[in-house]
Amino acid sequence: MRLKSLAPRERILVSVLALFLLIALVGPSVSMPDAMTAAFADGRAWGDLPNALDVLSNLPFALLGVWGLVSLHRVDRAHQIEQDSAWTSLPEPPVDALDCAWLFFAGLLVTAAGSTFYHLEPDALRLAADRAGMAVAFAGLIGFAVCERVSLRAGWPVAWFTLTTALAAVAVFHETGNVLPWALVQFGGMLGVLVLSLARPVRGAVGFKLGWVIFFYALAKLFELGDHAIYGATQHLVSGHSLKHLTAALAALPVLHAVGAVSRKGLLHNPGTAAVTA
């Protein structure tokens, strides 16, 4: 795709991505010495299960991931039946948007596994696994947002760009302790979603409510920052970090709603691509 063929929003998107990549490559090394050794507020074990609530609070990621994948499969199956029996041509499907949804929900499953693995025995290697899972979900989410507010064709390439750079950022942090690339992925990505939420949806958008994603993300961050304070305020009932997991998982609800909108419109995701992505 040549630069001259890009729409104005696509050009802005390419420029922003290039700027973030440049900052990650030539920016200063930013270290967080406590990032891999921070003690979480709730370290209680339930029987042989260490850090029980921080581990079990990852279950909603897995449940919503499965729910989303099943919903996408039903969209495919229902429309395939309709297509096989239709005498007229059906509307062109938002293939890239649905591919991004598949990536997002698959990412929730990987996030659940990675975060569970990390919280069972927090250390540097397990933190990398935790963030790698988050990278998959971030990629699908950002790609879907781009489909809705930039262009339908831009979302899938951006999802793969995000996934590649996010995994590279995880590796950089693990090997060097430089957190800048990961911060650009996480906070830069969510800042991008915030900006996109203010833009008008493109033609063919399915109604992805980006504002709710920002709300749940911001609330999850507040719970994370208040980990110890919330644990004390609730008389050691629940920690802020456990609530962070529960709240962050709710960011899947707007994606589920958007998939439901696709289903109601009778649109189709590319079954061949879905099988590969899932």
Q: Report if residue 6 sits inside a domain.
A: no
Q: Is residue 24 included in any domain, yes or no?
A: no
Q: What is the structure's pLDDT at 94?
A: 75
Whether 1 maps to a domain, the answer reads no
Domain count, the chain: 1
Q: What digits encode the pLDDT tens for the residues 183-226?
A: 999 999 999 999 999 999 998 888 899 999 999 999 999 999 99
Q: pTM score, two decimals? A: 0.89
The DSSP result for the chain, as a single string, is: --GGGS-HHHHHHHHHHHHHHHHHHHSPP-B-TTTTTPPPS----BTTBTTHHHHHTTHHHHHHHHHHHHHHHHHHHHHHHHHHH-SSPPPPP-HHHHHHHHHHHHHHHHHHHHHHHHHHS--HHHHHHHHHHHHHHHHHHHHHHHHHHT-TTTHHHHHHHHHHHHHHHHHHHHHH-B-HHHHIIIIIHHHHHHHHHTSPPPTT-----HHHHHHHHHHHHHHHHTHHHHHHHTTTS--HHHHHHHHHHTTHHHHHHHHHHHHHTT----HHHHHHH-
Residue 29 in any domain: the answer is no
2 inside domain: no
Residue 117 lies in a domain: yes
Can you give the residue range of the structural domain that contains 273?
A: 49-85+92-277
Q: Is residue 5's pLDDT more than 90?
A: no
Residue 236 lies in a domain: yes
pLDDT at 169 over 90: yes
Residue 43 has pLDDT above 80, yes or no: yes
Q: What CATH number does the domain containing 137 carry?
A: 1.20.1070
pLDDT score recorded for residue 3: 57
Reported as a pLDDT band with limits 50, 70 and 90, residue 76 is confident
The answer to whether residue 180 is domain-embedded is yes
